[in-house]
Amino acid sequence: MKDFIETRIITAVRGLLTGRVNELLWSTELLVPVIEFEGNGDGYIITPLISLSTCERTEKERIVKLDSYSLSITFTVPESPDSELLSYVYAGAVCRAVYDNPTLGGVVNRAVISGKKYVPPKVHHCGEPWTVVILIRLSVEGLIE
């Protein structure tokens, strides 16, 4: 049975995060928690939240029969002296990985970073985390009924 496109997209994004993004994180001079989805929570790791939804298509996308999705990746960076810097590092690594692989390994026709949002804690030095939200717009050809 053929996988749903949504499942394939989520799988491709997880692979991108645990593969290329982790490689980029390891190449920095900073001690950055690596991205894992199936770990037991031990060690210095972070697990981002991936959220996928369909989005409104432009007239051009309707004519050429492209489906559009909006994907958000949310990192919650625990408070530390480097939390703000780590937020920028995660966003930069994800953006670089998507730029290097705009088709997510052939799963989509095009993936484009459409926004980044950095949310500092409301009160600094009280244990609240930084949050980074990266928005990606995905185009997939040929799925319209």
CATH topology for 5-141 is: Alpha-Beta Plaits (3.30.70)
User: Helical H runs in 5-143?
Assistant: 5-16, 22-26, 59-63, 83-100
Per-residue pLDDT of the chain (145 residues; tens, 9 = 90+): 357 888 999 999 999 999 999 999 999 988 899 999 886 655 588 999 999 998 777 777 677 777 889 999 999 998 888 899 999 999 999 999 999 999 999 999 999 999 999 999 888 777 789 999 999 999 888 654 4
**DSSP percent split of the chain into helix, strand, coil, nearest 5:** 30, 30, 40
pLDDT per residue as tens digits for the range 67-102: 889 999 999 998 888 899 999 999 999 999 999 999
Q: Which residues contact 53 (CB under 8 A, 6 or more apart)?
A: 69, 70, 71
CB 61 within 8 A of CB 68: yes
Distance CA 85, CA 32 (A): 10
pTM, entire model: 0.88
> Where are the chain's structural domains?
5-141
